């Protein structure tokens, strides 16, 4: 069974969707604990993908095919996880801030976070502060991820943080920010809890905040 779990992790790394789905079914049919399938198979595989992406050995296409393989396996695994009452490490609400229509970086963060076991609520692009707050409340999120790719839209990020403060929700969530024009120094200045320069680092920040 351990060998099949390793093969499942490798299928995710290699982006072999069919193999990942078949191995997941095989492991579950053999009585493997769904938690082991998730952690030793899927999360382990996406962990390697994230490390290689951060190291510049993998690029966006490799991450995308790996994420698709993971999702194919998750489609089979999810009903079993629900029955086993396995809780995600956290729930993250993600979105690109108001006025910004760029989503590649945000989408990568969503995939990598799902690959690390987080529950991800993706609000898409051009998201208002009110939508972030509504989603955080609805899903009882403990993390909020804000993305901006333009210098003209990054100025809308502090508005979201202020809106959470005004609504009395700021203490309930950790806010992380990212995007091409952003820096750690700027994130500190606006009162964000975390900053990530890339998708793999974003997942590391999420793990450190929950």
pLDDT digits (tens, 9 = 90+) for 200-209: 899 999 999 9
Q: Is 79 helix (H, G, I), strand (E, B) or coil?
A: helix
Residue 13 scores a pLDDT above 90: yes
2-84 shares its CATH topology with 91-209: no
DSSP state letters, 135-195: HHHHTT-SEEEEE--STTTGGGHHHHHHHHHHTT-GGG-EEEEE-TT--HHHHHHHT-SEE
| Sheet arrangement for strand 91-96 | 119-122, 91-96, 143-147, 174-178, 194-195
Q: For the chain, what are the domain ranges?
A: 2-84, 91-209
Answer for the pair 92, 43: CB distance below 8 angstroms, yes or no. Answer: no
Give residue-wise pLDDT tens across range 53-75: 989 999 989 999 999 999 999 99
Mean pLDDT (the chain) is 93
52: its two tokens: 């290689």
145: its two tokens: 């991820």
Model confidence at 157, pLDDT cuts 50, 70, 90, reads very high
Give residue-wise pLDDT tens across range 86-130: 778 899 999 999 999 999 889 999 988 988 889 999 999 999 999
Model confidence at 78, pLDDT cuts 50, 70, 90, reads confident
Assigned CATH topology for domain 91-209: Rossmann fold (3.40.50)
Per-residue CA distances from 71 to 12, 34, 38, 76, 165 (Å): 9, 15, 11, 9, 35
Query: In the prediction, which pLDDT does 70 show?
Result: 93
pTM given for the model: 0.83
Give residue-wise pLDDT tens across range 15-52: 999 999 999 999 999 999 998 999 999 999 999 998 99
Model confidence at 198, pLDDT cuts 50, 70, 90, reads confident
Give residue-wise pLDDT tens across range 166-185: 999 999 999 999 998 999 99
Query: In the prediction, which pLDDT does 179 show?
Result: 93
Query: In the prediction, which pLDDT does 113 show?
Result: 92
Kindly give the interhelix angle for 17-29 and 2-14, rounded to the nearest 10 degrees. Answer: 160
Query: In the prediction, which pLDDT does 57 show?
Result: 95
Query: In the prediction, which pLDDT does 81 show?
Result: 81
Query: In the prediction, which pLDDT does 199 show?
Result: 86
d(CA 6, CA 41): 6
* Three-class DSSP labels, 85-152: CCCCCCEEEEEEECCCCCCHHHHHHHHHHHHCCCEEEECCCCECHHHHHHHHHHCCCCEEEEECCCCC
Q: What is the domain class of 2-84 according to CATH?
A: mainly alpha
């Amino acid at each position: 069974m351990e060998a099949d779990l390793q093969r499942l992790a490798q299928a995710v790394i290699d982006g072999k969707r069919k193999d990942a789905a078949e191995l997941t079914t095989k492991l579950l049919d053999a009585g493997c604990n769904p938690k082991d399938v998730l952690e030793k198979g899927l999360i382990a595989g996406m962990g390697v993908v994230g490390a290689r992406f951060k190291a510049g050995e993998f690029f966006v296409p490799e991450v995308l095919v790996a994420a698709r393989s993971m999702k194919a396996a998750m489609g089979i695994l999810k009903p079993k996880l629900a029955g086993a009452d396995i809780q995600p490490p956290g729930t993250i609400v993600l979105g690109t801030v108001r006025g910004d229509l760029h989503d590649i970086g945000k989408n990568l963060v969503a995939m990598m976070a799902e690959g690390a076991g987080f529950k991800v609520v993706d609000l898409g692009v051009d998201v208002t502060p009110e939508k972030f707050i509504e989603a955080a409340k609805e899903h009882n999120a403990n993390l909020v991820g804000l993305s901006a790719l333009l210098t003209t839209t990054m100025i809308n990020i502090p508005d979201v943080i202020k809106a959470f403060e005004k609504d009395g929700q700021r203490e309930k969530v950790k806010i992380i920010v990212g995007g091409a024009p952003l820096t750690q120094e700027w994130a500190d200045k606006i009162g964000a809890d975390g900053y990530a320069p890339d998708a793999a680092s974003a997942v590391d920040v999420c793990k450190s905040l929950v």
